[in-house]
Every structure is written in structure tokens, then in C-alpha cells.
Amino acid sequence: MKEYAYVTLRQRPEWKEEAAAWFHNQWGVPQEAYLACMEAYLNRETEYGWYLCLDGEHIAGGLGVIENDF
């Protein structure tokens, strides 16, 4: 059985670029838009979060909670 790691982007900020690319590939939103939102989250300008499910060194899933979700 596979083991997955569930982390926030604040716990693993080194995943920012890869996470932005992953979300872009899933939803087609420009990667730069994800990077801007993620940077604001990492700089604690917002508490809306970015969460990753990691399968070793690969992103298996992700969740972004952003302002326009409410």
C-alpha cells in the first residue's frame, strides 16, 4: 500500500514552482496566477491555504483554498 504525505505549502515551500505547474495543468489557469497566490500565502498576507498530497517526490493531488471560493 502506498503512503502519501499531506503537507501545506508553508511546510514545504520548495514545492511552490512544481505545485503551480501542477494546478495549472489541472485547471488551465495561468501558472503566474497560482504563483502570485502562493507567494501571498507564503508571505502570510493571507490565510487561505495551499495543500499538497505527495506520493514520494511527486504531487498526487492538491487543494487550494482561495478568496473567490467563498
Per residue in 2-55, pLDDT tens?
899 999 999 999 999 999 999 999 999 999 999 999 999 999 999 889 999 999
The model's confidence at residue 70, banded by pLDDT at 50, 70 and 90, is very low
- Domain regions of the chain by residue span: 5-69
The C-alpha angle 19, 49, 39, rounded to 5 degrees, equals: 60
**Rg of the chain taking only CA atoms, in angstroms:** 12
